[in-house]
Structure 1
Amino acid sequence: MKKVIIPTLTLALLASTWSCKTSNNQDGDNDGDSTKVEISDEALLDSVQYRTFNYFWDGAEPTSGMARERYHIDGQYIGDDKPNIVTSGGSGFGIMAVLSGIDRGYVTREDGLARMTQIVGFLERADKFHGAFPHWWDGETGKVKPFGQKDNGGDLVETAFLIQGLLAVHQYYVNGSDAEKALAERIDKLWKAVEWDWYRNGQNVLYWHWSPEYAWEMNFPVRGFNECLVMYVLAAASPTHGVPAEVYTEGWAENGAIVSPHTVEGYELKLRYQGTQAGPLFWAHYSFLGLDPTGLQDKYANYFDEMKNYTLVNRAYCIRNPKGYKNYGENSWGLTASYSVKGYAAHAPNESEDQGVISPTAALSSIVYTPKESMQVMRYLYNKGDKIWGKYGFYDAYSETDNWYPQRYLAIDQGPIAVMIENHRTQLLWKLFMSHPDVQKGLKKLGFDSPHLM
């Protein structure tokens, strides 16, 4: 799996391309940019992956090693949303990004192990709720930071995203040195401590939240389809607190009601998307950072085909551009949850959820489904220079219509970019996660087929 890229060469390339290799702008952009960077696809992928990896390496919260929920280059934060707040799900994405960096030689294997050990140590002592992690912690103390008044306990969805990353780390180290094997054993204990069965609340469905103060008052049973598929797979896979297949078929799939064939923007979709024809693009990303959609299917869908068409719906909507936003098109598409001109929004391909805001993570994290189309967006964004491109990769969102270019990052948006670029290039994170014996058992229990299943 080893493939070394020397970071200093990547950085030197970044420094030279803007100043030395330019041509007339041909992309129809009217915002004043007059140059276009010449850079190969491979070098562009290297540059984007390396800088985005650094959000989780150089930009990590120093005490815990975890991913900061957000990082604002301008230093302006609202209320008590400070840089010491770390995120469980975003850290799950981040440790997968760090794994790819270790494997590519961005950092040494020794330094990578030290960081993973720091993170696992934090998780061992941090607040947990029936083994599940909260959405946020204070990275300095490990105490829960409420996501909302009643959301101050376990968050099973964010837990699944973090466990997805930890199981990939486990597989990376399980046959390594003595120190690496020891860390894999500690990860195994965290995995086996999650009480997935508790979060059934006595029913054949999984609940998103539980609070020691408010119990089940959030009242959010998770049904499909959305970003939560991996949660059900892991719940079925747990060797200590597993759930029966009926929780998946009756809860997630609602006895087959999840299947709802329909056509959007000329593309056929098989699944029901929670009251909308197609939702934000992160639904095609978060579960599939570790779950390899290639050849993955159950009686409800072929997940690669479904997610590819789901992505193409999003792209086609932006090309059609029914609200007439500036420069929407083949070079600039991708609607998902991100910062927005009006705060934060789950942008989606329909007129009520489209605010003229493009989120780079949307198209770039879809590169496993639409490699040519996603590279076209990546190049367009890169050519815009420091208006969109910063020290940790592309900023979270922008609107050409509103001339809005905030220099801000979110962990849950940066992580999928680096992870999916690696999966596009080598399938590293897919191979690791899908090789875990418990994951394989869980997929078989739920009736999945996959080329990874033995």
Structure 2
Amino acid sequence: MPQAGAQKRGTIARGGTLTDGQLLDRVQQQSFLYFWEGGHPVSGLARDRIPRDGVCEDDKVAIGASGFGVMAIIVACERGWVTRTEAVARIGRMLDLLTEAPCYHGLFPHFMNGATGAVIPFGRKDDGGDLVESALLLQGLLCARAYFDGETDGERRLRGAVTYLWNDAEWSWYTQGREVLTWHWSPTNGFALNHPVRGWNECLIAYVLAASSPTFPIAPAVYHRGYAEGRFFLNRRMQEDIELPLGPDGGGPLFFAHYSFCGLDPRGLRDAYADYWEQNVRHTLINRAYCIRNPKGFKGYGPNCWGLTASDSIGGYDAHAPDHDLSVISPTAALSSLPYAPAEAMAVLHHLHDDLGDRLWGRYGFLDAFSEEHGWVADWFLGIDQGPIVTMIENHRSGLMWRLFMSVPEVRTGLARLGFQSPALSA
């Protein structure tokens, strides 16, 4: 497997403070290795999680994390950490399995076997298509189709395979004939989980892609009467002295501002409900302000140490937020928010790297979470958290993934169908 060059894996380099640019390079590159060195040895798809020592003994891969992994590979190619040929070959391996693996009305399960493509159930009744994980995968694959636009056999095959999977996704099936998307469908349990996808949360990308599909699109009413009429969609109340346009009180976990916006460019993105740049900036600043106020008095919180989102936690995976604060800070929360609060996020990055690095830094960047209050550090890296670090830092630095995703013709059509406005749509 090709090795991408990186500074001393698993250690913090001493002998001088890195500049902001050098530090961003280091964190992006080291986090990218999660997907490059840590990818499944057969398919290259992204593992759900990798332990601190880097040794995985199972075949479980995660579909959403694989979408973020594709984006990380594009970043690595653009920055010269891997060659274009290597990047195309790796994504091609991923597509080889995806195009042969079982699918569920064109969508993939949350977890699958990275060698065979067989579904690995997420739960008793969750053993089929996962709408949101599949949307995160296709977000990354559509960026790859846009980026690898050359005429080599490998790039043509890559584009053809992505288009095949994209056209095969039956988004409209997942409405059950109603005006809302449903998260899961199983060949053995049908829609028994009955989980309608209503906002505000991380699922905007699913509605945008569903409206953008050239083959199985949803009607705009599914977005307006389903997602946008959710109980926790509109807020418009003051949170930490900041008006929050959308979402639950406190804003919810910060990944709401990351997952959909690894591809969707929020700069100037508006619809009938919100300005999405303002939404994400305010959500970020509310999360930070809450941590600085620190009403529970947890050790370590402050201007250089904030960021509540879903991650590993003291008692297992949990969705941390101001209304569910367990003393756990997740590095991906602030680092993936760099576009929205650059100075504030860089302060966190320097603190995590320069002050806490020997405890938090490992083979694939920062471990998933920590609690100063309890003297606890996670033993794992998670793909769903490492990926947005690479991509959102790159969006801050160059806007690369935003440009690629917003250039996709079908996406531009879908956004217009839903009533979105964006400078990128007229570019």
Who is 1:453 aligned against?
A: 425
Structure 1 residues 264, 108: closer, same or farther in 2, change over 3 A?
A: same
Is structure 2 residue 421 aligned with structure 1 residue 427? no
CA drift at 1:178: 3.6
State the alpha-carbon separation in 2 of the partners of residues 452 and 195 from structure 1: 27
Trace 1:73-222 onto structure 2 (pairs within 5 A): 73-74=52-53, 83-222=58-197
Q: Please point out which of 239, 261, 269 is paired with 1:296.
A: 269
CA drift at 1:407: 3.1
- Counterpart of 1:356 in structure 2: which amino acid? S
- Whether contact under 8 Å (2:52, 2:363) holds in the other structure is no
Trace 1:390-401 onto structure 2 (pairs within 5 A): 390-401=362-373
Query: Equivalent residue of 1:11, what SS?
Result: coil
State the alpha-carbon separation in 1 of the partners of residues 192 and 250 from structure 2: 29
Query: Equivalent residue of 1:340, what SS?
Result: coil
State the alpha-carbon separation in 2 of the partners of residues 405 and 16 from structure 1: 16
Name the stretch that deviates more: 252-261 or 227-236: 252-261
Q: Please point out which of 305, 310, 317 is paired with 1:337.
A: 310
Count of aligned pairs between the two proteins: 423
Query: Equivalent residue of 1:115, what SS?
Result: helix
State the alpha-carbon separation in 2 of the partners of residues 320 and 265 from structure 1: 9
- Whether contact under 8 Å (1:249, 1:256) holds in the other structure is no
Who is 1:27 aligned against?
A: none
Please list the CA deviations of residues 202-226 of structure 1 after superposition, one character each: whole Å capped at 9, or x if unmatched.
Answer: 1011000000000011000111110
State the alpha-carbon separation in 2 of the partners of residues 408 and 52 from structure 1: 13
- Counterpart of 2:328 in structure 1: which amino acid? V
Question: Which consecutive unaligned segments of at least 5 residues does structure 1 have?
Answer: 1-5, 22-37
Is structure 2 residue 20 aligned with structure 1 residue 11? no
Query: Equivalent residue of 2:92, what SS?
Result: helix
Who is 1:355 aligned against?
A: 326
Structure 1 residues 257, 11: closer, same or farther in 2, change over 3 A?
A: closer
CA drift at 1:296: 0.4
Question: Which consecutive unaligned segments of at least 5 residues does structure 2 have?
Answer: none
State the alpha-carbon separation in 1 of the partners of residues 230 and 28 from structure 2: 40
Q: Which runs of 4+ in 1 moved over 3 A?
A: 12-17, 74-77, 255-258
State the alpha-carbon separation in 2 of the partners of residues 243 and 75 from structure 1: 41
Please list the CA deviations of residues 302-357 of structure 1 after superposition, one character each: whole Å capped at 9, or x if unmatched.
Answer: 0001110001000000000011111100111000111101111100012xx11100
- Counterpart of 1:142 in structure 2: which amino acid? G
Structure 1 residues 345, 188: closer, same or farther in 2, change over 3 A?
A: same
- Counterpart of 2:332 in structure 1: which amino acid? T
Query: Equivalent residue of 1:71, what SS?
Result: strand
State the alpha-carbon separation in 2 of the partners of residues 148 and 314 from structure 1: 31
Query: Equivalent residue of 1:452, what SS?
Result: helix
State the alpha-carbon separation in 2 of the partners of residues 429 and 165 from structure 1: 9
TM-score (norm 1): 0.90
Who is 1:407 aligned against?
A: 379
Who is 1:268 aligned against?
A: 243
Structure 1 residues 272, 388: closer, same or farther in 2, change over 3 A?
A: closer
- Counterpart of 1:292 in structure 2: which amino acid? D
Who is 1:55 aligned against?
A: 34
CA drift at 1:446: 0.3
Structure 1 residues 50, 272: closer, same or farther in 2, change over 3 A?
A: closer
